[in-house]
Amino acid sequence: MFYVSRRETFSAAHRLYNPKFSEEENKRIFGKCNNPNWHGHNYTLEVVVAGEINPDTGYVIDLKYLKQIITENVIRKVDHKNLNLETDFMKGIIPTAENIAKAIWYQLVDKIPTGKLYAVRLHETENNFFEYKGE
């Protein structure tokens, strides 16, 4: 089994906020990411596809198609956007890195032409990254 990865980057704004909590609780739980005037992160996304080598092409997946699929289904919806307000697949979801990684998984899982989506890894800061591998 091979694991083939494509890395993409995007910049996006967000605010972590749950209307179930009081203002004080929101501040305590979400800290800096609760800033009511938004703030941004430079995210790095890694998409990993698992599969066998196609003997005719020598590829598991043609990375130019994987790049295109990620760009169309994810990057153009998140890059330089407000994740709370502008990203259709994040509507009504608290945009933590965990939730963003999970939502990106569901944007991609049925669109991989060869091999299978194996992992979505999202780096929110240099030291904090999150990985989703499906249910």
Residue 124 among the catalytic residues: yes
Residues in the chain: 135
Of 40 and 134, nearer to Ni ion (C-beta) is 40
Name the token pair of 71: 């760009």
- Span of 30-38, 44-52, 77-85, 114-122 interacting with Ni ion by CB under 5 A: 30-38
Which of the residues 80, 86, 98, 131 is marked catalytic?
Answer: 80
Q: How far is the CB of 76 from Ni ion (least distance, A)?
A: 21
Of 13 and 50, nearer to Ni ion (C-beta) is 13
CA distances from 107 to 79, 110, 111, 130 (A): 15, 8, 8, 17
70 forms part of the interface with Ni ion (CB under 5 A): no
Angle value at C-alpha 43, between 26 and 123, nearest 5 degrees: 85
Question: Cα separation of 29 and 27, whole Å?
Answer: 6
Residue 33 among the catalytic residues: yes
Q: How far is the CB of 125 from Ni ion (least distance, A)?
A: 9
Q: Which listed residue (4, 12, 33, 104) binds Ni ion by CB under 5 A?
A: 33
Tokens 């032409």, residue located = 113
Which of the residues 33, 46, 72, 131 is marked catalytic?
Answer: 33
Residue 52 among the catalytic residues: no
Contact present, 66 and 47 (Cβ < 8 Å): yes
Task: List residues near Ni ion by CB under 5 A.
Answer: 33
